[in-house]
């Protein structure tokens, strides 16, 4: 048992980080470790699903581990467990639920990062999705990341260290830890050992997830996710009549909207009620009317945040479907060219053979490009319905 | 001559009509007493004693017209004062209550009903929203001014002046006096040029029917009038996808298609007519164009005006390929 169990198939990163955690433990104990092993800011990069944020959490656990032997990160002490579950007093995790991380949020975070750790070990600040930092937010963070207090560590996660994702000024202040896509075998064994998934299901999920650990886990345990994947992968061969275009597009969009409502509905209502109570709704007696006067604005703010969260859920859900679709056309292209490369959806090999027999290489490529263009379009705020329908039209026409 | 009504209720939000109703009440009162006074008050500025003073008969029994404005914001106590006065109205005093028909408090919402019960003369001045009503209004205006106008003239005038009733009324009476009564399209064109209101839908409708000149003209007008780019882009996208969707299912009865397509029958009927000039590949291209345009107007294109014009031209080109 160790905190590194959570990190799937990343031996190099684990070696670097556990050495750093050892050095960190030496610093806490009052010693002087070899220079350059531990540092104050880290940037974890890797493709989606490679486990950037779980690696960052595991590292935070290792830093907070209270068992003082020479290998910190036991995974069972209070320090490790609370850090992994996000309840440690000295581990601050920023997980953007909306579309971006604001300056105000980062300014507050900079203040927190300046405090001494209450447990006497390390003050850890984790920013998941650092690519969602707005330009202003990234600038607000610069000073703190460049020269944080003695015992503060920043852990940033982003898809890559490309300037599109992380500003160069932030990038140059961090040590880079790059994670690769984990191998299917590693994912399967992690699903078996950590989540207790039956071996056959684990093998299957690992083979179709495209190196995305979270996706593999979801597919392995969630019946509905498997159904969704099936219905998405059925689309390419189901487009026969022109009218199918709209049925399929409708299906995709409805599924995404449904995801957004089911994921957020109960939570929205609870948040609303909590805020209303906090602003004095439902109170009686003198002064209650005056107390609730400012509530409207606060409620409006909350609604705005909730809307941004719903948009994000909807886009994420659509993106997942589009990635699956792109995988299918890639498979068709792989089959068409007779390449030996591994398929993204090995369980759909029959379909990709059919597709490869029907379509020319150019038309498969055009379809693949339409899917990728649709992903980009949704990212730049095109109405999902318009973007998806345009894409499915191309999928139909080829 | 019969005595004028002493209690008027004007319900509605159409400013011009409300104004006319108030003026009519005043004129009726002045027929009885040419020196009748007009007093306008906002109900929110009133206190019950002030109101009582306003509506009590004066020493020399001069006529008075009291207009209570914004009665939808009336407070409970003022409403009570009004209603108790209504039960025992004073001689020579005409009370006009102007109410939007809405209101927040219970007292304000109930006021119109209670006044009607008390026998008030009611004038409805609901906002004119339907094109048919607006055309009837223009015809009436011209007739009132003593002129005549043909249907084409009505349409041209509304096109050029807009939907504001006050402006329409002013333009109608001016035209009648300028043209000795007969208002024709040519006369209207002489005094009014351009378009007052163009929506994105007008642009989209012209574009999907392949009317290049008409679509460009409508688009330029829309840009001139400051219609947001995003609205025009959305209207274009909606028009194209409606045609694509309706033509994809083939010809069928609009009413039976309405359910499965989730569109109102009139929209389907219109789209079926528009679909005649399109073929599948043209529609597919048009779908790509509007999807690209949607990104363009949201900041991808450096110049949204240009992006719109290009998209309209491309849609028309895709239409004409057949």
Please state, in angstroms and rounded to a whole number, the distance separating the CA atoms of residues A120 and A117. Answer: 5
Give how far A33 is from chain B: nearest CA, Å: 51
Of A243, A382, A383, the CB nearest to B248: A243
For residues A21 and A73, the answer to whether their CB atoms sit within 8 Å is yes
Please state, in angstroms and rounded to a whole number, the distance separating the CA atoms of residues A16 and A2. Answer: 15
Residue B260: is it exposed, middle or buried by C-beta count within 10 angstroms (0-12/13-18/19+)? exposed
Of A246, A386, A396, the CB nearest to B291: A386
The answer, for B249 touching chain A at a CB cutoff of 8 Å, is: yes
DSSP 8-state class, residue B58: P
Can you give the pLDDT at residue B322?
Answer: 59
Judged by CB atoms closer than 8 Å, whether chains meet at A386 and B241 is answered as yes
Answer yes or no: is the ipTM higher than 0.85.
Answer: no
Of A246, A387, A393, the CB nearest to B284: A393
Residues within 8 A of B (CB atoms), A 239-268 only: 241-243, 245-246
Task: Tell me the helices (H) and strands (E) count for chain A, helix number first.
Answer: 16, 5
- A-chain CB neighbours of B299 within 8 Å are 380-381
DSSP 8-state class, residue B300: I
Angle value at C-alpha A373, between A370 and A375, nearest 5 degrees? 115
The CA–CA distances, whole Å, from A98 to A310, A312, B89 equal 8, 6, 63
Can you give the pLDDT at residue B1?
Answer: 36
Judged by CB atoms closer than 8 Å, whether chains meet at A246 and B284 is answered as no
- B-chain CB neighbours of A383 within 8 Å are 234, 237, 294
Percent of chain A with pLDDT over 70: 98
Judged by CB atoms closer than 8 Å, whether chains meet at A393 and B287 is answered as yes
Judged by CB atoms closer than 8 Å, whether chains meet at B281 and A397 is answered as yes
Interface test with B, best of A249, A254, A386 (most B CBs within 10 A): A386
Of A243, A245, A382, the CB nearest to B294: A382
**Residues ≥6 apart with Cβ < 8 Å to B58:** B64
Judged by CB atoms closer than 8 Å, whether chains meet at A381 and B295 is answered as yes
Please state, in angstroms and rounded to a whole number, the distance separating the CA atoms of residues A179 and B179. Answer: 82
Judged by CB atoms closer than 8 Å, whether chains meet at A382 and B280 is answered as no
Judged by CB atoms closer than 8 Å, whether chains meet at B291 and A377 is answered as yes
Can you give the pLDDT at residue A322?
Answer: 93
Q: If pLDDT is split at 50, 70 and 90, which confidence band does A373 have?
A: very high
pLDDT tens for residues A38-52? 899 999 999 888 889
Please state, in angstroms and rounded to a whole number, the distance separating the CA atoms of residues A5 and A20. Answer: 17
Instruction: DSSP for A47-116, please give it.
Output: STTS-HHHHHHHHHHHHH----SSS---SSSHHHHHHHHT--TTEEEE---SSSB-HHHHHHHHHHHTSP
Judged by CB atoms closer than 8 Å, whether chains meet at A243 and B249 is answered as yes
Can you give the pLDDT at residue B2?
Answer: 46
pTM for this model (two decimals): 0.72
Of B248, B290, B295, the CB nearest to A246: B248
pLDDT tens for residues A152-163? 999 999 988 888
Using alpha carbons, select from B86, B163, B88 the residue that is nearest to residue B120: B86
Judged by CB atoms closer than 8 Å, whether chains meet at B280 and A390 is answered as no
Task: List the A91-94 sheet strands across, edge first.
Answer: A91-94, A123-127, A152-158, A41-45, A175-178
Mean local confidence (pLDDT), A14-19: 90
3-class secondary-structure state, position B255: helix
Average pLDDT, consecutive stretches of 10 residues, N- to C-terminus, chain B (322 residues): 71 88 88 85 86 80 85 87 86 87 83 87 85 87 86 85 85 86 83 79 91 92 90 94 89 84 88 88 92 92 93 92 66
For residue A7, the tally of other CB atoms under 10 A from its CB is: 25
Of B247, B287, B295, the CB nearest to A380: B295
Using alpha carbons, select from A244, A222, A228 the residue that is nearest to residue A323: A228
Q: Is the pLDDT of residue A369 over 50?
A: yes
First to last CA, chain A: 51
3-class secondary-structure state, position B250: coil
For residues A116 and A84, the answer to whether their CB atoms sit within 8 Å is no
Judged by CB atoms closer than 8 Å, whether chains meet at B288 and A381 is answered as no
- A-chain CB neighbours of B280 within 8 Å are 242, 397
For residue A339, the tally of other CB atoms under 10 A from its CB is: 10
Can you give the pLDDT at residue A267?
Answer: 85
Using alpha carbons, select from A135, A140, A155, A139 the residue that is nearest to residue A38: A155
Judged by CB atoms closer than 8 Å, whether chains meet at A390 and B287 is answered as yes
Report the Cα A75 to chain-centroid distance in Å.
23
**Residues ≥6 apart with Cβ < 8 Å to A108:** none
Instruction: DSSP for B216-241, please give it.
Output: HHHHHHHHHTT--HHHHHHHHHHHHH
Judged by CB atoms closer than 8 Å, whether chains meet at B295 and A377 is answered as yes
Name all contacts of B138-142 with Cβ < 8 Å and 24+ positions apart. Answer: B138/B168, B138/B172, B141/B168, B141/B169, B141/B172, B141/B173, B142/B172, B142/B175, B142/B176, B142/B183
For residues A355 and A332, the answer to whether their CB atoms sit within 8 Å is yes
Judged by CB atoms closer than 8 Å, whether chains meet at B248 and A382 is answered as no
- B-chain CB neighbours of A386 within 8 Å are 237, 241, 290-291, 294
Give how far A393 is from chain B: nearest CA, Å: 6
Please list the alpha-helical segments (H only) found in chain B: 15-32, 48-55, 76-87, 106-117, 131-144, 151-161, 165-178, 185-191, 200-208, 212-224, 229-248, 254-261, 265-274, 280-295, 304-320
The CA–CA distances, whole Å, from A364 to A4, A357, A361, B52, B287 equal 41, 11, 5, 84, 19
Of A241, A381, A397, the CB nearest to B284: A397
pLDDT tens for residues A111-149? 989 999 998 889 999 999 898 888 899 999 998 888 888
Q: What is the chain B residue with the closest CA to A243?
A: B248
Please state, in angstroms and rounded to a whole number, the distance separating the CA atoms of residues B56 and A135. Answer: 69
Using alpha carbons, select from A265, A255, A261, A264 the residue that is nearest to residue A385: A255
Q: What is the chain B residue with the closest CA to A373?
A: B292
Counting every residue, how long is chain B?
322
Judged by CB atoms closer than 8 Å, whether chains meet at B299 and A380 is answered as yes
pLDDT tens for residues A78-102? 888 898 888 999 999 988 877 888 8
For residues A132 and A106, the answer to whether their CB atoms sit within 8 Å is no
Judged by CB atoms closer than 8 Å, whether chains meet at B295 and A390 is answered as no
- The token duo for B294 is 């949607």
Of A241, A380, A391, the CB nearest to B300: A380
Which residue did the predictor score with more confidence, B290 or A242?
B290
Beta-bridge partners for B67? B40, B96
Give how far A249 is from chain B: nearest CA, Å: 11
Please state, in angstroms and rounded to a whole number, the distance separating the CA atoms of residues A150 and B322. Answer: 73
Percent of chain A with pLDDT over 90: 27
For residues A111 and A39, the answer to whether their CB atoms sit within 8 Å is no
Q: If pLDDT is split at 50, 70 and 90, which confidence band does A70 have?
A: low
For residue B198, the tally of other CB atoms under 10 A from its CB is: 21
- B-chain CB neighbours of A389 within 8 Å are 241, 244, 287, 291
Give how far A319 is from chain B: nearest CA, Å: 17
Please state, in angstroms and rounded to a whole number, the distance separating the CA atoms of residues B155 and A44. Answer: 66
Of B245, B294, B295, the CB nearest to A246: B245
- B-chain CB neighbours of A381 within 8 Å are 295, 298-299
Using alpha carbons, select from A99, A14, A7, A80 the residue that is nearest to residue A50: A7
The H-or-E segment that residue A363 falls in is helix A361-379
Give how far B202 is from chain A: nearest CA, Å: 20
**Residues ≥6 apart with Cβ < 8 Å to A141:** A106, A109, A110, A133, A170
- The token duo for B267 is 């929209």
Using alpha carbons, select from B173, B147, B169 the residue that is nearest to residue B158: B169
For residues B73 and B46, the answer to whether their CB atoms sit within 8 Å is no
- B-chain CB neighbours of A380 within 8 Å are 295, 298-300
**Residues ≥6 apart with Cβ < 8 Å to B202:** B218, B222
Residue contacts between A and B (CB atoms, under 8 Å): 57
The CA–CA distances, whole Å, from A246 to A171, A241, A374, A392, B154 equal 44, 10, 16, 8, 41
Please state, in angstroms and rounded to a whole number, the distance separating the CA atoms of residues A328 and B230. Answer: 34
Please state, in angstroms and rounded to a whole number, the distance separating the CA atoms of residues A247 and A239. Answer: 9
Can you give the pLDDT at residue A91?
Answer: 92
The answer, for B234 touching chain A at a CB cutoff of 8 Å, is: yes
Judged by CB atoms closer than 8 Å, whether chains meet at A393 and B244 is answered as yes
pLDDT tens for residues A168-201? 999 999 999 999 888 888 889 888 888 888 989 9
Give how far A167 is from chain B: nearest CA, Å: 21
Can you give the pLDDT at residue B4?
Answer: 62
- The token duo for A171 is 């990038």
The answer, for B294 touching chain A at a CB cutoff of 8 Å, is: yes
- A-chain CB neighbours of B249 within 8 Å are 243
- B-chain CB neighbours of A396 within 8 Å are 284
pLDDT tens for residues A275-306? 888 887 777 777 776 767 777 888 888 898 88
Angle of the A223-238 helix axis to the A242-278 helix axis, nearest 10: 150
- The sign of the CA dihedral B42, B44, B45, B51 is positive
């Amino acid at each position: 048992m160790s905190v590194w169990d959570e990190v799937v198939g990343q031996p190099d990163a684990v070696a670097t980080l556990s050495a750093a955690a050892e050095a960190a433990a030496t610093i806490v104990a009052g010693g002087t470790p070899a220079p350059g092993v531990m540092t104050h800011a880290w940037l974890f990069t890797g493709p989606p699903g490679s486990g950037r944020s779980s690696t960052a959490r595991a590292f935070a656990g290792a830093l907070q581990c209270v068992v003082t032997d020479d290998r910190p990160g036991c995974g069972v002490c209070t320090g490790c467990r609370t850090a992994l579950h996000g309840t440690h007093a000295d581990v601050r995790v920023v997980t953007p639920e909306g579309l971006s991380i604001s300056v105000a949020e980062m300014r507050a975070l900079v203040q927190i990062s300046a405090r001494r750790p209450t447990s006497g070990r390390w003050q850890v600040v984790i920013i998941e999705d650092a690519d969602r930092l707005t330009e202003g937010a990234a600038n607000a963070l610069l000073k703190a990341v460049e020269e944080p207090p003695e015992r503060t560590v920043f852990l940033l996660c982003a898809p890559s260290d490309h300037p599109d994702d992380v500003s160069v000024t932030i990038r140059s202040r961090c040590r880079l830890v790059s994670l690769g896509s984990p191998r299917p075998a590693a994912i399967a064994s992690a699903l078996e050992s950590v989540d207790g998934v039956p071996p056959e299901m684990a093998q299957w999920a690992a083979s179709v997830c495209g190196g995305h650990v979270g996706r593999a886990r979801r597919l392995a345990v969630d019946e509905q996710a498997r159904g969704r994947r099936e219905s998405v992968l059925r689309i390419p061969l189901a487009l026969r009549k022109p009218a199918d275009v709209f049925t399929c597009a409708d299906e995709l969009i409805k599924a995404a909207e449904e995801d957004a409502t089911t994921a957020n509905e109960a939570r929205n209502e609870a948040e609303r009620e909590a805020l209303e109570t906090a602003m004095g709704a439902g109170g009686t007696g003198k002064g209650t009317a005056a107390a609730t006067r400012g509530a409207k604005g606060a409620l409006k703010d909350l609604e705005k945040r909730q809307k941004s969260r719903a948009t994000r859920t909807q886009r994420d859900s659509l993106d997942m479907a589009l990635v699956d679709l792109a995988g299918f056309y890639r498979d068709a292209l792989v089959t068409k060219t007779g390449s030996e490369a591994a398929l993204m959806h090995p369980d759909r090999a029959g379909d990709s053979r059919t597709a490869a027999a029907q379509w020319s290489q150019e038309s498969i490529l055009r379809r693949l490009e339409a899917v990728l263009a649709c992903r980009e379009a949704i990212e730049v705020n095109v109405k999902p319905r318009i973007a998806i329908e345009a894409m499915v039209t191309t999928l139909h026409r080829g | 001559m019969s005595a004028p009504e002493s209690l008027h209720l004007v319900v509605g939000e159409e400013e011009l009509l409300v104004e006319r109703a108030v003026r009519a009440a005043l004129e009726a009162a002045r027929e009885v007493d040419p020196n009748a006074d007009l007093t306008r008050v906002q109900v929110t500025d009133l206190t019950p004693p002030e109101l009582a003073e306003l509506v009590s008969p004066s020493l020399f029994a001069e006529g008075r017209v009291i207009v209570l404005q914004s009665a939808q914001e009336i407070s409970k106590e003022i409403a009570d004062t009004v209603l108790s006065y209504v039960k025992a109205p004073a001689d020579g005093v005409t009370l006009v209550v102007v109410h939007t028909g809405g209101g927040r408090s219970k007292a304000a919402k109930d006021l119109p009903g209670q006044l009607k019960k008390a026998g008030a003369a009611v004038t409805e001045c609901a906002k004119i929203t339907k094109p048919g009503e607006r055309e009837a209004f223009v015809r009436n205006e011209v007739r009132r001014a003593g002129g005549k106008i043909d249907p084409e003239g009505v349409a041209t005038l509304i096109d050029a002046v807009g939907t504001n009733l006050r402006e329409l009324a002013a333009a109608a009476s001016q035209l009648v006096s300028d043209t000795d009564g007969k208002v024709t399209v040519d006369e209207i064109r002489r005094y009014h040029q351009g378009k007052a209101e163009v929506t994105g839908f007008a642009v989209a409708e012209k574009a999907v029917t392949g009317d290049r000149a008409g679509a460009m003209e409508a688009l330029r007008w829309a840009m001139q009038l400051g219609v947001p780019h995003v609205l025009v882009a959305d209207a274009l996208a909606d028009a194209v996808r409606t045609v694509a969707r309706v033509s994809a299912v083939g010809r069928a009865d609009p009413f039976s298609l309405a359910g499965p397509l989730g569109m109102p029958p009139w929209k389907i009927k219109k789209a079926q007519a528009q679909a005649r000039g399109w073929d599948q590949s043209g529609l597919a291209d048009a779908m790509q164009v509007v999807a690209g345009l949607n990104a363009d107007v949201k900041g991808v294109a450096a110049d949204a005006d240009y992006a719109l014009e290009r998209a309209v031209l491309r849609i028309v080109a895709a239409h004409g390929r057949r």
